[in-house]
Amino acid sequence: MSISFSATFLKEGKWYVATAVDFGVVSQGRTLKEAQKNLTEAVELFLEDRPKKQIARREMPIMTVLEAQI
């Protein structure tokens, strides 16, 4: 079974911090490619013990862009 998920990547110093928004799973890598690979592996481990029915009917997060005054 294959599943798509939303991810964000932020450069923090020498690392890319990767977050799987749908699941709250976080990983990192020295390159963007490494961060993507590590996040995919982390999500696979996270989902490993969950029933497929539970994964298929998961609630999608509500995402938007907000503005703050600085």
* Domains held by the chain: number: 1
Q: 43 with 25: CB under 8 angstroms?
A: yes
Residue 25 lies in a domain: yes
- Domain span holding position 15: 7-56
Residue 70 lies in a domain: no
Residue 64 lies in a domain: no
Residue 46 lies in a domain: yes
Residue 1 lies in a domain: no
pLDDT tens digits, 14-51:
999 999 988 899 999 999 999 999 999 999 999 988 77
pLDDT above 70: residue 67? yes
Residue 66 lies in a domain: no
Q: Quick check: pTM over 0.85?
A: no
3-state secondary structure of 50: coil
Question: For the chain, what is the total number of helices (H) and then of strands (E)?
Answer: 2, 3
Residues 6+ apart with CB under 8 A from 36: 7, 9, 18, 29
More confident residue, 3 or 43: 43
